[in-house]
A and B are shown apart, each in its own frame.
Chain A
Amino acid sequence: MSIDWLSGPLLQQLNSGVILLNTQLQIVYINPYICRRADIQLESVQGKDIFSVFTDAPKAWLSRKLNSVLSLQSPAFSSWEQRQYLFKLPHLRPVSSANEYMAQNCNMLPLTEPVTGEHYVCLLIEDATDAYVYQNQLQQSNLQLQQVNRLDGLTGVLNRNYWQQQLEVEVQRAARYQHPLSLLFFDLDKFKRLNDDYGHQAGDLVLIEVAKLIGSLLRETDLFGRYGGEEFAIILPDTPLDGAIEVAKRICRRVAATPIAYKQQNLMTSVSVGVSQFSSADSADDLIQQADLALYQAKRNGRNQVVTYYPGLIDSLKKVKTN
């Protein structure tokens, strides 16, 4: 059985694009798959330079590829993963998918006319939009998962685990580049009583609102995390002690001055803040311990205030305890 009749109908109905070019990169043939999507007539583009018909195609790169196919007589490829598309063609996927044009895989094949021996290059174009869309969705989900994994479920600030990892990173960075680095530890004053008087819903709301308020006072590079129940911590990169004290005081003032509305009532709260500054001999744990000690002293001094760590602080705390 002869199958000479096959190629005609196959090219007509093939669910892939076929573009045949001569050695001058002029169009010899384009199958209906491409013609219909690009809204062109074969008769009107035959003999024209490919780049005069598809004016958006990457000319320098693609002509180099096509010339390599012709001169080496070996195939070349283009994948949507590296270049989303060669030709701007519409796709039949829902409009909701973010990409406007068909993602394409392209094979560029050297062909020789058997009778005349003339060389041609054939572009086979496949629609890879589905793969492209799925991969985008996958990347999005991964990104979301990664974020969820780093955040505290209630307040949306960093969770303790991720915050502590970031502290290690920042301590190493500060040590290496000799940048200043400060740490704030703060705690909501009399939080247990708030929970007892108004219920846990009120307590949760206060945590959320205070975290939101303080978040608005910080720079984008500051790392704000929830350390435990009502205890929070902030890493202030590239910030010397005086700057950190300034931030801590601002936080104290704003929290004390901002009422939180809960069931027709205004809840008032305040925070106590401990401040410590990184010096080259400190580890991340040292820094946490120092800020925590300063916080303890702030509570002891009567709450709603800022205390800065100093080397003698631990002794004065011991004295108070033994007295």
Chain B
Amino acid sequence: MTDLSFTEEQRDCLQELINVAMGLASDKLARFLNTFVHLQVPAIGLVSAAEIPEQFRGQYQGLNSSMISLGFFGDGGLRGETILLYQLDNAGKIAALLGYDDDATSEAEMLTDISSILTTTFLNGLADQLENSFSYAAPRIISSRDSDFISKLEQTAFHWQLALKVDIRYELTDYSFDCNMILLIPGEAVLKLKTILDHVLAEF
């Protein structure tokens, strides 16, 4: 079996690239939302996808949560899926900021809009850092207002070999908005990612 684990250098490099991508994303979001947006340096964890459901069970247990998936494809065989997890109470705050309280937009539509804005803004930044560009599939609600969403996450995560868990905290001027983003990357794309990271490292 091919080794999917990252070397320490590769891991540091990825962390750094994600930090920069987050910085770019927060800058864009701040301009778009006309408010100060601070994205904390995200905590990154590379874990086996099978462990993911258990990790989130405690955090979201008994809460009204939503789970939205967005698939992406890049050049050089890089591809994956992002899953954004957040509490619905939090969604209300950012929906107000996006101006969703003034018309009859369905909750489902609001959730997919928020997710695609948060995810693609970050992924575009990450693609820039990797000298790549991503195209995206339409966002899909995996689960919403569903207490048993962990079992759905289990079904989703099952297909992937590696998961990059990125905890993001969006802090806006007046509110804080917590969510978790999970980057799920299949095994062969992990190998591509390692190659790309080696290239980036070689350029330094």
Which of A's residues lie within 8 Å of B, judged by CB?
A: 58, 60-61, 64-65, 68, 71-79, 81-83, 105, 107
Contact = CB atoms under 8 A, between A and B. Distances in A.
B113 interface: yes
B139 interface: yes
Interface of B: 28-29, 31-32, 98-99, 102-103, 105-106, 108-109, 112-113, 116-117, 120-121, 123-124, 136, 138-139
A74 B98 contact: no
Given A81-B108, A82-B108, A82-B112, A72 B102 contact: no
A76 B105 CA distance: 15
A71 B31 contact: yes
Which 5 pairs of residues, A with B, have the shortest CB-CB distance?
A: A74-B120, A77-B138, A82-B109, A82-B108, A71-B32
A107 B112 CA distance: 13
A61 B31 contact: no
Given A60-B103, A68-B117, A74 B124 contact: yes
- What does DSSP make chain B's interface, helix, strand, loop or mixed? helix
Contacts of B124: 72-74
B113 A65 contact: yes
B28 A76 contact: no
A72 B116 CA distance: 11
Contacts of B112: 77, 79, 82
B80 to A, nearest CB: 16
10 contacts: A72-B28, A72-B120, A73-B28, A74-B117, A75-B136, A76-B113, A76-B117, A77-B112, A81-B108, A82-B108
Contacts of B98: 64
Contacts of B28: 71-73
Contact of A77 (B102, B103, B116): B116
A199 B113 CA distance: 66
Contacts of A58: 103
Nearest to A73: B124
B103 A72 contact: no
B36 to A, nearest CB: 16
Contacts of B116: 74-77
Nearest to B103: A60
A252 to B, nearest CB: 47
A266 B102 CA distance: 65
Given A77-B112, A77-B139, A107-B138, A72 B99 contact: no
Contacts of A71: 28, 31-32
Nearest to B105: A61
Given A60-B102, A60-B103, A61-B103, A72 B117 contact: yes
A43 to B, nearest CB: 32
Contacts of A64: 98-99
Given A74-B123, A105-B138, 7 more contacts: A60-B102, A60-B103, A61-B103, A74-B117, A75-B120, A77-B116, A82-B109
A77 B109 CA distance: 10
B121 A82 contact: no
Contacts of B139: 77
Contact of B32 (A72, A78, A79): A72
